[in-house]
Structure 1
């Protein structure tokens, strides 16, 4: 692959062709050297035609041989073989002859004489910039190769571990089975003292039976082992195919680079112009595919070994010995690393929201304010603080420039619209119908929790209540103080934290409870966040930690605790683009920012 695209395309053409008179060629008068060019007719003409042309078209502008366009293009139109390709439509990105121009491009506003349009392409910013982009794309593909090699090592290790564990258990099962039959044979031998002659025949039959059944059992266990191996290979096939796809990208990029180099070396500007347009389109596809490969996900799995009583009949009757179970992405342990602190004169950070990759919003409960930050790399910059007349509680994103905020004391929901510079453009009020606290927006609806009545309500965007649920199947209150909630990435589940009951509940939009999480190490749960894989992160204010849960609320691990500088965490937000976790704490002037990666 070329390492410096811009510097490699510098050869000039040594081929010089003479332009002929198009008027003579058109009327069958034979070949004549062109000595002039009519700008109005867009035709090259000879000495004779020039003389008649000046008489007939006195107002036409004629360029003599030294001033006329010198980059002659001799390719004929595929649709009109008798016509030279003389024009290029920038609106349609197509070449055209005179007839194509008059018929197919009569409504186009940007069609130009091709040699004139391409006259300065060798020194154009477009060609120079594209060369730089090709260099960067080449570097990205090399980096992708390193990333794939690293992931391949993970795949290889998974295969080796699963295969080794499976083989080890197979040997153990077979050895156990054989040992039990040997025990039977030994017991039988001890009883042969008085009836040795009679029992010899029976012993021989038993040995034969044990041998036959042993072979059958070995075949059954061996088949189960083979199925596991096939499952391991099949699970990793999609990822391994990415390696082949990456090699294809490398080959395609090399071929495109060679084509463009050769075209430029020939000095044919029109060909170079067309090739450049084609290569740019193909490179866009290569870049998209490269990005997909870089963000490819490795399917995790584990070998599940069934617990079988070590008895002959149990082993013979068993039909399954192993299973290859996929590990849901949300159940994989995350690693966190402290990145930086956002410092501000906070009093009580009640909620956080990532509005975009570079914009973080924080609600300060006691200061009755919305604080807006821009985040650039690892540095933070305070933008502004919007004051309110009452204390805000929950916040959710409606669009890139609109959020919804609950005001518990006022029993009100406010829709706040921002300009590009994050100045507030408009505030619309929606009745909260009670002491509304937690809020989330999904599928053009708001999901709102009420911490005094212990209920969950679903609103339309206009503020109409669509659904409401708060009782369990026995008619008892399901929640006491459901202060916060969030929505799963696929918009199918609602997660609610109840700080009084120390629980997190997962329920559907129909109100069906799917799971409830309760743990001795989670006390006073507060705001929740989810990542793109469905992992749920919940603040434990009184337990001074952040729990990571799977999508079905199975405990994965305690992700963050006091050792990370977390004291009484109340608010949390996750940024998918930067893989960052933002944690706000009660009565703290800091928001701690962590990088999150898969373990």
Structure 2
């Protein structure tokens, strides 16, 4: 390295380039070959620029092509990309363009033209001394390489010795460890053989004991199965007799038909007359008997498995494995058929109330009135409208022709008595204790729903308006309601059903305010008025979901009874008539109340009426 370095500095293999005109490059006039150099401006000039330069700067010293600096440095300034590096500051030890010289090195005393400064570099002591230093550095590096190679051999030998020692020691440790483990396994195997012999004996004894227990348990389960089958068979003991009676009716009807037809064919009019009279009496008997068979009650039930943890001990202790659960009528699906429309001019109906099979009372919040309709078999007609100073909201029947009505804007409840012609005979005002929404009559008390600032409550009032009970918090001290709009009570007055529009749920409370059940369904949105029938089925309007849900007495979803396909949109109010088995549905911003007939599926309604 040292012997070749000095020679390499003198071997210039770079391509010889010609200098271009800096003035043309600076002003974007393209490339032009430089033919002269201005010493004062330190600029290379082409023929054209030289001519103009001489005119403008007559005193500047100009060097022609042969005498101008030939060592061209084409590096552009990193700070001023449009300027060539033409100077070098000895003080700052830094290269510079014209702008750098004029701005950054204005106070420097030793800023020189780079080609001029470098003209004698090839023969300078600096280059000669640098070459000597580089030769010595190259020799030192070679010596260092020899030292490193020697040390590498020492390290390699140490690594080999350490690796051999490590492998030898590791093999000894592993062999010792394996032997000790083998000793443990051999000792365990010996104990295992002894234990297996003992366990085999114990297993044989256990098998005998378990086999006897299994036999007894199977006998107990089979006996329970036999008992429940007998109980199932005996649930409807008269059904076979009913079928036999029905067959007798069919035979009697057929015999009567044959006798009449035969008398007609033979032309025996007297005999036909007598047989016809007898046949008419017999047909009446057949009809009565047939109706009785149809009206016969059938016990409906659901077989349930016993609710026990399936462990050996619990199964052995169990004495009853099956149970009957009576299917409440409220859980049986209903079906509806359209009966008629009640057309009116009163806009939205807020609440509906069936006063009797011939009277339908409605509240109209926007018109501040109660509107009464007369009901017939397949139609209804407007009867009367009673107006008030503020808007009525919830309505409930207290007795024949007497109702209780909430007036939330006045925080008041009015007990209103009507005449037979549905004129107002008497009005009694009692305190409403706040924004009273809906109301129901139960056990000589009034059940009222209240709303205030995204919370609500249910209060039980005496008929004079005194608060008897109030329910607003659950057992975890959380709000029971968000917006309890409507409510109703079960037929036996033991349950209160509340539609909470703020939470899209229906809540069932016991008479002492305990939460019995909650109904929430994605297909029930913004629930409104509720109704119950004589069997305990609950009907609730889904205003925003455009449907009516049928629920069981314990708020289990039975079905969506009515939806848009039945002609409803935005159902808000609902009422049920027990006498006519009709369901009335009022809609928001709609001058129509729809009446539907309600029956049980498969014509089973009469089977439950005797229940």
Q: TM-score, normalised by structure 1?
A: 0.53
Give me the whole-angstrom Cα distance separating, in 2, the residues matched to 1:360 and 1:240: 45
1:240/1:405 Cα in 2 relative to 1: closer, same or farther (>3 Å)? farther
The equivalent residue for 2:396 is: 396
2-structure distance, mates of 1:308, 1:477: 35
Alignment of 1:272-351 (within 5 A): 297-305=297-305, 321-351=321-351
Q: Cα–Cα, structure 1 residues 224 and 427, in superposed 2: closer, same or farther, change >3 Å?
A: same
Q: CA deviation at 1:296?
A: 6.1
Matches within 5 A, 1:170-569: 219-237=219-237, 297-305=297-305, 321-452=321-452, 454-569=456-571
Q: Matches of 1:384 and 1:392 in 2, distance apart? A: 16
Aligned to 2:149: none
CA distance 1:432–1:314, change in 2 (3 Å): closer
Shift of 1:297: 4.8
State the Cα distance separating 1:317 from its structure 2 match: 8.2
CA contact (8 A) 1:539 1:546 kept: yes
RMSD (CA atoms): 3.7
What is the CA–CA distance in structure 2 between the aligned matches of 1:448 and 1:309, rounded to whole Å? 44
SS in 2 for 1:475: coil
1:592 match: 594
Matches within 5 A, 1:158-173: none
Matches within 5 A, 1:5-16: none
CA distance in 2 between counterparts of 1:582 and 1:367 reads 20
- Aligned residue runs from structure 1 range 21-100, under 5 A: none
Aligned residues between the structures: 357
Instruction: Tell me the residue number matched to 1:579.
Output: 581
CA distance in 1, matches of 2:368, 2:296: 43
Distance 2:226 2:489 in 1: 41
Note the alpha carbon deviations across 1:167-212, whole angstroms, 9 max, x for none.
Answer: xxxxxxxxxxxxxxxxxxxxxxxxxxxxxxxxxxx99999999998
SS of the residue corresponding to residue 232 of structure 1 reads helix
Instruction: State whether residues 347 and 365 of structure 1, in contact with CA within 8 Å, keep that contact through their aligned partners in structure 2.
Output: no
Shift in alpha-carbon separation, 1:215–1:478, aligned structure 2, 3 A: closer
User: 1:560-581 CA deviation, whole Å, 9 max, x = no partner?
Assistant: 1112112111111111111111
How far, CA to CA, are the matches of 1:400 and 1:354 in structure 2? 11
Residue by residue, what CA displacement relative to the aligned partner does 1:429-452 show, whole Å, maximum 9, x if unpaired? 222121111100111111111122
Structure 1 pair 308–495 and aligned structure 2 pair: CA distance change class (3 A): closer
- C-alpha displacement of 1:236: 2.4
8 Å CA contact retained: 1:390, 1:407: yes
Q: Is the 8 A contact 2:474 2:514 kept in 1?
A: no
Distance 1:244 1:419 in 2: 54
Q: Contact 1:231–1:324 at 8 Å: present in 2 too?
A: no
CA deviation after TM superposition for structure 1 residue 323, in Å: 3.2
Which ranges in structure 1 are unaligned for 5 or more consecutive residues? 1-201, 247-288
CA contact (8 A) 1:450 1:483 kept: yes
What is aligned with 2:112?
Answer: none
Task: Check whether the contact 1:346–1:587 (CA below 8 A) recurs between aligned residues.
Answer: no
8 Å Cα contact 2:332-2:600 kept in structure 1: yes
Q: C-alpha distance in 2, partners of 1:310/1:486?
A: 42
Tell me if structure 1 keeps the 8 A contact 2:393–2:405.
Answer: yes
Asked if the contact 1:499/1:524 (under 8 Å) is kept, the reply is yes
Aligned equivalents of 1:290 and 1:540: distance in 2? 41
Tell me the alpha carbon deviations over residues 92-144 of structure 1, each in whole angstroms, 9 at most, x when there is no partner: xxxxxxxxxxxxxxxxxxxxxxxxxxxxxxxxxxxxxxxxxxxxxxxxxxxxx
Aligned mates of 2:291, 2:399 — CA distance in 1: 25
Structure with greater contact order relative to length (CA < 8 Å, sep ≥ 6): 1
State how far apart, in whole Å, the 2-side matches of 1:485 and 1:473 are.
21
2:262 is matched with which residue? none
Aligned to 1:106: none
**Could you say what secondary structure the match of 1:229 adopts?**
helix
How far did 1:474 drift? 3.5
Deviation at 1:414, TM superposition (A): 1.3
Question: What is aligned with 1:112?
Answer: none
> How many angstroms does 1:349 deviate by?
1.0
State which drifts further: 218-227 or 524-533.
Answer: 218-227
Deviation at 1:544? 1.1
Aligned equivalents of 1:401, 1:291: Cα separation in 2? 36
Deviating runs (4+, > 4 A) in structure 1?
Answer: 202-218, 237-246, 289-297, 305-321
Q: Secondary structure of 2:236's match? A: helix
User: Is the contact made by 2:300 and 2:327 (CA closer than 8 Å) also made in structure 1?
Assistant: yes
Which whole-Å CA distance do the structure 2 matches of 1:409 and 1:225 have between them? 63
Shift of 1:395: 0.4
